[in-house]
Structure 1
C-alpha cells in the first residue's frame, strides 16, 4: 500500500468513521421555525455585535426577510414597531451574531443515523453556520445536497459549508502526481465544495500543487497533520506551502522539538492502537522547547507571518484529562443517543474510544500538554493571529452543540477574554470560510445589511459562558432561596427564520427516548 493510501486508510479506520452518506437516513423536510417575516424586531436586548466591540443596549434590531435593515438604540420608531409582523421581547437578554462552527461532521449509521439530530443540537446552541470537514465521508454526496437544502431552508439545519477530504469522493483514481492533485481540486470546485481538508498523506510536492490550485480556484484549505505523515509535513512546512488553516494540535509540537528532528516514540508504540496513540501524544510536551523560548517565539512569528488560521478544537480531547467527568456530563442522560454512548465507551475499534486502561499518569500528562497548547494558542492570538471555534462533535464524549459551548469555555481557559471568545465564534469563523473566495462574509456581525443570523440568550454570557448550554446553569436565587436552572439559548434566528431553541431540544430528547425504547 502506498504511503498516501496508508494514511487515508488510517483516517478511515481511526479518524472519522468514514460512512457512505447513502447509508444515513434522509433529512426530513423542515417542520420547525417561523418566518422569515416581512418585518421582525428583536426588541430590548443587550447587543454583542461580534467584532469585539463592548456590549450595548437596549437595542431594537429590525429584520426584513433575511436581512438586518436597522439597529436602533433604545427602541425602534413607533411606526416601525406598528408594522412588524412579530416582535421578540428580549429585555434582560443578550443578542449575538449566530455562532460559526468551523469543524463539523455528521454521525454515521452506527452513531447518529439521522443527521437532523446534530443539526438541531447545533441550532439549539445558537450555531447558525457549520463548516463540514467533511459532513459525510466516502463517495456519497450528502454534503452537497444537505448544503443546498439548508440554503433553501427546506431542512432544519445551520448554514452548511461543505469541504471534502483531499482525494475523497471521486472515482478518478489515486492522487499520485501533481497534475492529478490539480485535477482533483478542479473537480471538487466544479462539484460545489467550498474547500478541502488535508491529511498530510501525499508529501510536500503533491500537497503544494493542490494548495496552489486551491488558491487559484478560491477554495479554502485546512489540515489535520496526522502523525504518520508529520515527518514529511509538519505545521511549519504546511503553512510554508500555503495552508490556510491548522486544526487540532497535530503538527505544532513536531515543529517545536527540542533535541531531535523526529518525535521519540516509546517502545512498543503502535499508531493503530489508539490507547498508545493518544496516551503517547501528550508526552510530546516533554520533547518540545519551553514556551517563551527563542525557538517557540520564532515559530509563532512564522505562523503569524503566514496568515494561517488556528482552529484548536480543544474540547474534543478534553476527556483525556478527566475521563470520568466527560462520561457523566449533565446532558448525556437526556440528549445523547444511546448509540452514541455505546460508541463513546471504551472500545478496541471505535475512534476516540480509547480509554481502555486510562490512568492518572495519562491524565496528568494531558493536563501538562494542554498548558503548552493553551499557551501556544493564546500567544498566537495575542500577536494578531486568527483563532476560530471548531467542535469536531460525535467523538470522545463530545455531543453536538454542547461540545461547541465546551470549546468556548476552553478558549476562555486558554486565556482569551470573553469578548475575544465571542469574536472567535462569530466574525472570525465567518471570515475563515469566506476569505479564500475573496468575499466579505455576509454573516458574523450584527450590522445593517448582514444576514439575520442571531442567537438570543437570557443573561450575559460574557459573565458566564455556561448560560449557553442547553441544560442551562445551576444557580441559587438569593431572593427565594431556591436552586434554579437559568440560561440556555432562547431563540436562534437563521436567515430570518426564528427557531425556538428549547423546542428543538425537546425534539432531540424525543429522538433519544425513541431509540432507548427500541
Structure 2
C-alpha cells in the first residue's frame, strides 16, 4: 500500500466552494482518503509533500484537444497519417502542464482505440484519453479534406444511423459532428451537413448512451444543434450576441459551452500569437521545430491569407461577451481550447484558455471548476474532477494563488495522476527529444 500526505496547502477542490486554507490530504493507493483543514496525523511509511504557501487544485481536464503540436510542423505528420509519435508527444506535453484527462475528438477509429489502450495500460505517461473516432461532416465539408482518415460523410439518415452504431459498438466516448460552413473563419465556405442528418446522429447517439459534441461558429448553427439536444458546443457563438432564445435552449439541453477563446484570440492574430510564443515558458517547453513553423513568412502567414482574420478580430468583443452571458445565465462552461491548432500548444493551451476566460469576466474559481468538476461530469466520470474523499487522486500543486492571478496555474510545483507523482523533468526531456 502506498500512502502520501500532502500537508498544509490551500485546497481549491474543484466543486466551486471557497478554498480550504492550511489543509492537508491523505492519499492511499491512488485515491483521496481524507481531506481536512489543519494537519493530519502522519500515516506509517507515508511520503510527505509540503504544500505550505502553495495551492492544490484538481488535475486539469482539456475537453477539446487534437493531438497536434500547435504548429504547422504536425500537419503532414498527424492530419495525413496520425503519426503515433506526434500524438504521444502531445499527450506528454499535456501531462507536463497538469492535464490529467483529455477528450480528443476526431481520429481514425482503430488507431484511436489503440492509443487509448496504450494510455490505459500505461505504456507511456499520458493523461487519461477519451476519444470520438472519426468525425461526422458533409461530403467535402469542413475537416473532410484535412482529415481524410478520420471522417464520416453520411448521405442519408440510414447511413448516419449505421455509422453511429458502428462507433457505439466500438466503444468510443463522445461523438463529434462538424456542422458549420466555416464562413465566419475562411474566405471560401464549405458545405454543411444536412440539419436532419445532424439531428438523427444526436438522436441515435443518445439512444446508445453517447454524448455528442457539435463544432459550430455561427449562432444559427448553435441554435439548430441546441434544438437537436446537443451535449457539448465546441467554439463560441461568433456572429451575434446570444439572445434569450439561445439561453433558454442551452439551459433546456444542459449543453456544455466551450468558448475556445485561444483560437479566436491567437490563431487568427499573428501579432498576438507571436507575442505569446515569445514568453519564456513557451520557449523552454515547446519543441523548436513547432515554434519555427509559426515564424514570419511561413505557413501561418499563408493560412491567414485565406482566413477572415479581420472579421474574427472585430467579433472578439462579442465572443467574449457571449461567454460571460452564457456563464451568468447558468449554462455550464468548460475549458476546451482546441488544443493542437495554431498556437494552442498541448497543455499550455489549457492555461491560456483559463487566462482568457478570466479576461472575459468569468471568476477564477468558476474557471477552475470548469477545468475539473464540470469537465468530469460531461465525460461521465464521477470519480474524477474534484479533490474529495473516495475520488481518484489527480492533483496539481501550484506555487502561487490562482484566485489572485489565474496565470499562477502555469507555475507548477507538482503533478499527480492517480496518486503517482509525475517526473516532469524526465517528461520534458522526452518531449524535447522528439524534435
Do the two structures share a fold, i.e. TM-score over 0.5? yes
Paired residue secondary structure (1:193) = coil
CA deviations on 1:38-89 (whole Å, 9 max, x unpaired) are 21221221100001111112222111112111113211124x2x331x1112
Within 1, Cα distance between the matches of 2:400 and 2:293?
Answer: 35
Paired residue secondary structure (1:104) = coil
Q: Is residue 163–residue 196 contact of structure 1 (8 Å, CA) maintained in 2?
A: yes
Of 337, 342, 365 in structure 1, the residue corresponding to residue 287 of structure 2 is: 337
Paired residue secondary structure (2:388) = coil
User: Which residue is 1:384 aligned to?
Assistant: 330
User: Which residue is 1:401 aligned to?
Assistant: 347
User: Which residue is 1:197 aligned to?
Assistant: 176
User: Which residue is 1:151 aligned to?
Assistant: 120
Paired residue secondary structure (2:342) = coil
User: Which residue is 1:209 aligned to?
Assistant: 200
- Between Structure 1 and Structure 2, how many residues are aligned? 399
Q: Given the superposition, is the C-alpha separation of residues 205 and 490 from structure 1 closer, same or farther in structure 2, using an over 3 Å criterion?
A: same
Q: Normalising to structure 1: TM-score of the pair?
A: 0.71
Task: Establish whether residue 416 from structure 1 lines up as the match of residue 416 from structure 2.
Answer: no
Post-superposition offset of 1:344: 3.2
Q: Is residue 353–residue 396 contact of structure 1 (8 Å, CA) maintained in 2?
A: no
Within 2, Cα distance between the matches of 1:299 and 1:41?
Answer: 47
User: Which residue is 1:185 aligned to?
Assistant: 164
Paired residue secondary structure (2:344) = coil
Post-superposition offset of 1:215: 0.4
Q: Given the superposition, is the C-alpha separation of residues 394 and 351 from structure 1 closer, same or farther in structure 2, using an over 3 Å criterion?
A: farther
Larger gyration radius, structure 1 or structure 2: 1
Of 41, 65, 73 in structure 1, the residue corresponding to residue 5 of structure 2 is: 41
Within 2, Cα distance between the matches of 1:388 and 1:171?
Answer: 25
Of 270, 274, 297 in structure 2, the residue corresponding to residue 327 of structure 1 is: 274
Flag as ranges the 4+ runs of structure 1 deviating above 6 A: 168-173
Post-superposition offset of 1:352: 8.9
Task: Establish whether residue 374 from structure 1 lines up as the match of residue 320 from structure 2.
Answer: yes
Post-superposition offset of 1:157: 0.3
User: Which residue is 1:458 aligned to?
Assistant: 399
Of 109, 113, 123 in structure 1, the residue corresponding to residue 95 of structure 2 is: 123
Post-superposition offset of 1:420: 0.6
Of 229, 240, 263 in structure 2, the residue corresponding to residue 242 of structure 1 is: 229
Paired residue secondary structure (1:115) = helix
Q: Is residue 300–residue 376 contact of structure 1 (8 Å, CA) maintained in 2?
A: no
User: Which residue is 1:354 aligned to?
Assistant: 303
User: Which residue is 2:428 aligned to?
Assistant: 505
Paired residue secondary structure (2:5) = strand
User: Which residue is 1:494 aligned to?
Assistant: 417
Within 2, Cα distance between the matches of 1:172 and 1:120?
Answer: 26
Task: Establish whether residue 83 from structure 1 lines up as the match of residue 45 from structure 2.
Answer: yes
Q: Is residue 244–residue 309 contact of structure 1 (8 Å, CA) maintained in 2?
A: yes
CA RMSD, Structure 1 to Structure 2 (Å): 2.8
Q: In the TM superposition, what are the counterparts of 1:24-103 in structure 2 within 5 Å?
A: 38-78=2-42, 80=43, 82-84=44-46, 86-103=47-64
User: Which residue is 1:19 aligned to?
Assistant: none
Within 1, Cα distance between the matches of 2:403 and 2:230?
Answer: 33
CA deviations on 1:373-426 (whole Å, 9 max, x unpaired) are 111111111111000001222222221111110000011011111101101111
Q: Is residue 346–residue 354 contact of structure 1 (8 Å, CA) maintained in 2?
A: no
Task: Establish whether residue 304 from structure 1 lines up as the match of residue 235 from structure 2.
Answer: no
Task: Establish whether residue 223 from structure 1 lines up as the match of residue 202 from structure 2.
Answer: no
Q: Is residue 30–residue 418 contact of structure 2 (8 Å, CA) maintained in 1?
A: yes
Post-superposition offset of 1:431: 0.8
CA deviations on 1:96-155 (whole Å, 9 max, x unpaired) are 111110001112454784323212221121110100012xx346x232122222223232
Within 2, Cα distance between the matches of 1:398 and 1:193?
Answer: 25
Deviating more after overlay: 148-157 vs 170-179: 170-179
Within 1, Cα distance between the matches of 2:206 and 2:199?
Answer: 11
Task: Establish whether residue 430 from structure 1 lines up as the match of residue 379 from structure 2.
Answer: no
